[in-house]
Amino acid sequence: MANKNNFAGAVVLGMHDALVSQTGIIAGLAVALADRRIILMTGIISAVSAGLSMAASNYLAERTNGRDNALMAGLCTGAAYLGTSALMLMPFCFMQNTRDAMGVSFIIAVIIIFLFNCCIGRGDGRTLGRRFFEMLIICVGVSVVAFAIGEIANHFLGLMI
């Protein structure tokens, strides 16, 4: 019988991957593209395709390891990815200015990271602050790199949509 800890790992996988990849995608797109609708459309497409890929990958990994709860683990991973992505893309639905929406999206990511670390990770020997900052640094690092790539691409390609 599967316990909730088996699925906590699946949720962590989906949520953390969404935080890292979506913050990077959003940062890169917000720099390169001026139209929030294109950013939103691209973000939704990438979130759905990556969420389905994450669900399938975790399912296959769990099946390969002979675990009976592979389907539920895959579903949890995909749902966590899609839910986290939806929260991070939400500002682009309501805000006209893409840079402002990007800022709000990052605030949402920080809140997700904080709440997640308040709920998960007890007993691993690390404090809340240490877990929070570790995850935050990874997300910020990816976002900064993607932001820089967006700036470089925009400079060399001269593309403003």
Q: What is the pLDDT of residues 128-155, one digit of tens each?
A: 777 788 888 887 887 778 777 777 877 7
Domain boundaries defined on the chain: 7-156
Q: Tokens for 84?
A: 């986290």
* pTM (whole model) above 0.85: no
Q: Tell me the C-alpha distance between 134 and 29, whole Å.
A: 25
The string of pLDDT tens digits covering residues 84-104 is: 999 999 999 999 888 889 889
The string of pLDDT tens digits covering residues 12-44 is: 888 888 888 888 788 777 777 778 888 899 999
Q: Tokens for 137?
A: 């640094």
Q: Are 55 and 74 in contact (CB under 8 A)?
A: yes
